[in-house]
């Protein structure tokens, strides 16, 4: 049965990769694009937090006041796809760009990275775009580039069929929400029934 599985989408876990290689010999491993994007966003956010701490600890000069104000409540303006920003968030992003050339450069690289996954139609196209991005981004996203090097084949596999584990992540998030709304379930049967109702599954078939 397992030998009939041809593709598996996983997060960037070496344990998962080893498991698939061992038990699913015919499956291509696809690095989930949303976990890859999270990798870049997390590194951008760590830099934002570091610069924010440095600005707060620096002398109270007019220049530092500008940086502090720009970095205040700046997370979503930097991390959301720029196409989805509200007018207020776009104004905040422009403020950040003016105050911090480093964050401006990193945000531009983050958007370029996202665009590759949005627009590249085949792996051969993505190959060169990703390699170019990694060269440009190494100074700012050293950790992300290192991970991409270790998972480069699995990342490229995404551009074959566009497979992600988004559906599984959505199911997992819904299960967590059901548990929170129920303040936990001491009886597993009740939890199971609540889940079946949530997905409109006939309980007689479960």
> Tens of pLDDT along 43-92?
999 999 999 999 999 998 999 999 999 999 999 999 999 999 999 999 99
Confidence of residue 187 (pLDDT cuts 50, 70, 90): confident
Q: Which residues pair with 29 in a beta bridge?
A: 8
Return d(Cα 67, Cα 56) in angstroms, integer.
9
pLDDT at 205 (0 to 100):
53
pLDDT at 185 (0 to 100):
77
CA angle 113, 163, 142 (to 5 degrees): 30
Average pLDDT, the chain: 90
| Phi/psi at 29 (5° precision) | -95, 130
Percent of the chain with pLDDT strictly greater than 70:
96
DSSP percent split of the chain into helix, strand, coil, nearest 5: 70, 5, 25
Return d(Cα 107, Cα 128) in angstroms, integer.
21
Return d(Cα 194, Cα 200) in angstroms, integer.
10
Q: Indicate the length of the chain as a whole number.
A: 206
Is the confidence at residue 206, as pLDDT, over 60? no
Cβ atoms of 89 and 124 within 8 Å: the answer is no
Structural domain boundaries in the chain:
33-161, 165-206
Q: Which two tokens stand for residue 134?
A: 């990694």
């Amino acid at each position: 049965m397992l030998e009939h599985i041809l593709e598996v989408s996983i997060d960037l876990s070496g344990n998962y990769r080893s498991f698939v290689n061992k038990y699913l010999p015919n499956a291509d491993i696809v690095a989930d694009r949303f976990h890859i994007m999270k990798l870049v966003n997390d590194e951008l956010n760590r830099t934002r937090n570091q610069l924010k701490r440095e600005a707060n600890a620096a002398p109270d000069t007019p220049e530092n006041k500008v940086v502090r104000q720009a970095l205040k409540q700046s997370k979503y303006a930097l991390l959301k796809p720029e196409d989805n920003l509200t007018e207020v968030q776009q104004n905040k992003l422009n403020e950040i760009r003016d105050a911090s050339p480093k964050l401006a450069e990193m945000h531009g690289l983050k958007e370029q990275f996202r665009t590759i996954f949005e627009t590249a139609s085949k792996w051969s196209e993505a190959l060169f775009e990703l390699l170019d991005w990694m060269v440009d981004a190494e100074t700012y996203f050293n950790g992300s580039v290192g991970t991409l090097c270790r998972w480069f084949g699995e990342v490229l596999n995404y551009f074959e069929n566009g497979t992600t584990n988004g559906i599984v992540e959505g199911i997992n998030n819904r299960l967590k929400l059901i548990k929170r709304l129920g303040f936990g379930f001491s009886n597993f049967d009740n939890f199971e029934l609540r889940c079946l109702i949530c997905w409109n599954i006939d309980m007689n078939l479960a």
